[in-house]
Amino acid sequence: MLKLCICDDDPGDLERLETFTGEFFRSRPDVPATVETFRSPYDLLERLEERGGFDLYLLDILMPHMSGLELARKIRERGETAQILFLTSSREFALDAFSVNAAGYLLKPVERDAFCKAILAAVQALTPADDLHLLLKTREGIRKIRLRELVLVESFDHSRVCTLSNGMVLETPATLTSLLERLEGDARFFSPHRAYIVNLEFVNGLAGSELLLFNGRRLPVSRKLASQLKKAYMRYAF
């Protein structure tokens, strides 16, 4: 269970971030999480002393009496290795963020897409690659699939067919777009064509307008995506 904390003295910003957080984790049932919010750094520090730390902190930099940077330093002094994301209205604090080993920062007003990408990156950094998984709705019910076992997703009419490394095939009504969004940020996955998502771990090579898989399958590559695919494959393979 991921424990996330948001600390921002502005009630409007805090509500906005809480809404984004709820939307993100509802869209990712494979990442169970709890969220706590604070308007004061002192309330957060008191909570840490009483009940321990969090896995992920979202800290406003400009707060009265104690800045987010000072708060982050106190968190690090506790020996915590949590992911920290700063919230700021100015880029001038970007360099300071690195002094406390922060994962990054988000500019206010925070946009939903930027927020989701930052949270996803932080979640993945907290999760060993071998443990990342996907909850998939199938005819037999909800299945938990480890991403390292997912070879290929193919789109056929009203269903998507997922092929696993052990040869098992599962069908899901989830759209290819929704699956691609859930895999976003994982360098292993690429969509070379509007009908496919492939795990580059199982790619044997590229041949013209085709992608060669270790199991002998050959997948078509969209001409528009050929250059992007080559770059993605080279980055991942080497």
Helix (H, G, I), strand (E, B) or coil at 17: helix
Best CA proximity match to 5, nearest among 50, 65, 62, 52: 52
For residues 5 and 58, give the distance between their C-alpha atoms in angstroms, rounded to a whole number: 6
Query: Which amino acid, residue 173?
Result: P
> How crowded is residue 52: how many other Cβ atoms within 10 Å of its Cβ?
10
- Domain spans in the chain, listed from the N-terminal domain onward: 2-127, 131-237
Question: Which CATH code fits 2-127?
Answer: 3.40.50.2300
* pLDDT for residue 124: 82
* pLDDT for residue 129: 61
Q: Would you say how long the chain is, in residues?
A: 238
pLDDT in tens, 20-43: 999 998 887 778 889 999 999 999
Residue 86 contacts residue 97 (beta carbons within 8 Å): yes
Reading the chain (238 residues) residue by residue, the pLDDT tens digits are: 789 999 999 999 999 999 999 999 888 777 888 999 999 999 999 999 998 899 999 999 999 999 999 999 999 998 888 999 999 887 766 556 666 778 888 999 999 999 998 998 888 888 766 667 888 888 888 888 888 889 999 998 888 999 998 888 999 999 999 999 888 878 889 999 999 999 998 898 888 889 999 888 899 999 999 999 988 888 776 6
On the 0-12 / 13-18 / 19+ scale of CB atoms within 10 A, 58 is: buried
CA of 89: how far to CAs of 60, 63, 121, in Å?
9, 12, 21
On the 0-12 / 13-18 / 19+ scale of CB atoms within 10 A, 163 is: buried
The CATH number of domain 131-237, selected from 2.60.40.640, 1.10.10.60, 2.40.50.1020, 3.30.300.30: 2.40.50.1020
CA of 193: how far to CAs of 63, 164, 189, 200, 228, in Å?
47, 19, 12, 14, 12
For residues 204 and 193, give the distance between their C-alpha atoms in angstroms, rounded to a whole number: 17
* pLDDT for residue 176: 92
> How crowded is residue 29: how many other Cβ atoms within 10 Å of its Cβ?
12
CA of 13: how far to CAs of 26, 58, 108, 170, 173, in Å?
20, 12, 9, 42, 36
Q: What's the token pair of residue 47?
A: 């909570």
For residues 41 and 36, give the distance between their C-alpha atoms in angstroms, rounded to a whole number: 13
